[in-house]
Chains A and B, each alone.
Chain A
Amino acid sequence: MGMDIDDELRRLFADERLDVPVRPGATDAVVTGAGRRRKRRIAVTAAGGALTLAVLVAGGVAFSGLARTSSSPPGQEGMPTLSTTVSTTTAQVPTSAVVPGAGSASDAAGTATKPTSAGKLTTSVSRAPTVPELRPAGFGKVRIGMSVAEAEATGELVAVDLGSAECRAYTFKAYPDRDSLGVGISPVDGVVAIFPPKGARTPEGIGIGSTEAELLTAYPAATTNLHGYRIVKLDGGKVYSFGFGQGKSVVEFSLYTDKQMCFG
């Protein structure tokens, strides 16, 4: 009876433990991301149906923009349709670089994706029931960039009405999970985000439950974004994103394009 919950809430919200440390470079990351979104929007507006071009521009800006400082914002590159290329995206394949301290040093010579040192990486093929791989192109019959109609025509999705005009949400028919959305589709850009069901893995064998060491062995060039997600850049502005939550292994795993407006 003695507890006044109003006062307790105010006390809690004034607590210094609520502070979250700001990562170095956070401002630059936000400015870069904002520039990327702006260019994407302008490119789509100006180019109309030329969505492929918009993807390329957005992808190139995203990666080349990482090294910029806030004194040289992305907007200074000129008109989006004249902008940078995607040449840097191919540098993100697993064999392109070795992250110091990641995985075993003997894997350094471009063999990192081979599951030689970790037998469990091969288990996805013998797992039953077999869950398809989450490939850069998509999951099962559902492919990144498919229109709403095309994606629905695969018969693999069940619509979930979330009332969002920018992002239609779906679950996987074959993997019912009432708490988890599987696919986000933009009416403009098509399929933009895929959260595969448990058991799905990348062609390199990484998925829910993989450790950070396994991930870095498969993807030595993986980076860590502002929120701590490990990001593996693919071509066309797509990424694999691996979330570890508060633990030591992957708890959330997705493929999305930088055009998605479904979340964060």
Chain B
Amino acid sequence: MITLDVAHAVEGERAGMDEFAEFVSSAMPGLLRYGHALTGNPHDAADLVQGVLEKIGSRWSSVLRKAGDPLAYTRRSMANAHVSRWRRTRRENLVSEIPETPANQVRYAFEDEPLWQALRSLPAKQRAVVVLRYYEGLSEAEIAHTLGVSAGTVKSQASKAMATLRTRLGATAEGR
């Protein structure tokens, strides 16, 4: 019985892999861009996009069946993966060790953007809330649903994030 189930699953997944490849190919630029906003650097964006897409592709037919819009599902998965505590702990450690060199042109292009710098300084969850609100255009209720937290948490995280951004930008402006 198990064998039959597995064989069936393999058949189903096989049939969808060309379609998955097409999805990946067309969605990749937008997802990388979104990941860049979420993570604060292109390197982590690529890491996030690949990890999430691989997991989705590994159960592609059931994602199509259950999730409806695979692109929306992928973006929500990215937001969730992004705020997972493991990744956050790893990345913040990693970022703190990265020397601020202009080796990467994409990232360097933002080095003079006070708002970008301020965003990158936010804790991951607060940054995700800001990105979902202003990049995705989601409502507080939708953000809460996406991240699996209460609306109250979204509200408080958003409020803290905006206060931090205002403070940082204000300080930058005064310093000029």
Is this pair of chains taken from one and the same complex?
yes
The answer to whether B51 and A247 have CB atoms under 8 Å apart is no
A167 to B20, CA, bound (A): 27
A108 → B minimal CB distance (Å): 28
**Chain A residue with minimal CB distance to B53?**
A30
A226 → B minimal CB distance (Å): 5
Give A166-188 as 1s and 0s: 1 = Cβ < 8 Å from B's Cβ atoms: 01010000000101110010000
Q: Which residues of A contact B104 (CB under 8 A)?
A: 246
**Chain B residue with minimal CB distance to A8?**
B115
Q: Which residues of A contact B160 (CB under 8 A)?
A: none
Q: Which residues of B contact A156 (CB under 8 A)?
A: none
Q: Which residues of B contact A160 (CB under 8 A)?
A: 89
**Chain B residue with minimal CB distance to A14?**
B135
A114 interface residue, CB < 8 Å from B? no
Q: Which residues of A contact B109 (CB under 8 A)?
A: 17
The answer to whether B89 and A180 have CB atoms under 8 Å apart is yes
Q: Which residues of A contact B43 (CB under 8 A)?
A: 227-228, 243, 245-246
B71 interface residue, CB < 8 Å from A? no
B174 interface residue, CB < 8 Å from A? no
B92 interface residue, CB < 8 Å from A? yes
Total chain B interface residues with beta-carbon distance under 8 A: 74
Q: Which residues of A contact B145 (CB under 8 A)?
A: none
The answer to whether B110 and A17 have CB atoms under 8 Å apart is yes
A215 → B minimal CB distance (Å): 16
Residue from A162, A195, A227 in contact with B50 in the complex, judged by beta carbons closer than 8 Å: A227
Give B9-22 as 1s and 0s: 1 = Cβ < 8 Å from A's Cβ atoms: 11001100110110
> Given contacts A20-B33, A246-B43, are A34 and B2 in contact (CB under 8 A)?
no
Residue from A70, A243, A245 in contact with B21 in the complex, judged by beta carbons closer than 8 Å: A70
A37 interface residue, CB < 8 Å from B? yes
**8 Å CB interface, B81-111 against A:** 81, 84-87, 89-90, 92-101, 103-104, 106-107, 109-110
Total chain A interface residues with beta-carbon distance under 8 A: 64
A22 interface residue, CB < 8 Å from B? yes
B128 interface residue, CB < 8 Å from A? no
Q: Which residues of B contact A181 (CB under 8 A)?
A: 86, 89-90
A5 interface residue, CB < 8 Å from B? yes
Q: Which residues of B contact A26 (CB under 8 A)?
A: 24, 28, 50
**Chain B residue with minimal CB distance to A181?**
B89
Q: Which residues of A contact B79 (CB under 8 A)?
A: none
A67 → B minimal CB distance (Å): 15
A177 to B93, CA, bound (A): 10
Q: Which residues of A contact B28 (CB under 8 A)?
A: 22, 26-27, 30
A49 → B minimal CB distance (Å): 13
The answer to whether B103 and A248 have CB atoms under 8 Å apart is yes
The answer to whether A42 and B50 have CB atoms under 8 Å apart is no
Binding site for B on A (CB under 8 A): 3, 5-6, 8-10, 12-13, 17-23, 26-31, 33-38, 41-42, 45-46, 70-71, 73-76, 79-80, 160, 162-164, 167, 169, 177, 179-181, 184, 195, 226-228, 243, 245-248, 251-252, 262-264
28 pairs from A and B in contact (CB 8 Å cutoff): A5-B162, A6-B134, A9-B134, A19-B32, A19-B33, A19-B36, A21-B106, A26-B50, A27-B21, A30-B24, A30-B28, A30-B57, A33-B54, A34-B58, A35-B58, A41-B59, A70-B18, A162-B85, A163-B85, A179-B96, A180-B90, A181-B86, A227-B43, A245-B98, A246-B41, A263-B51, A264-B48, A264-B51
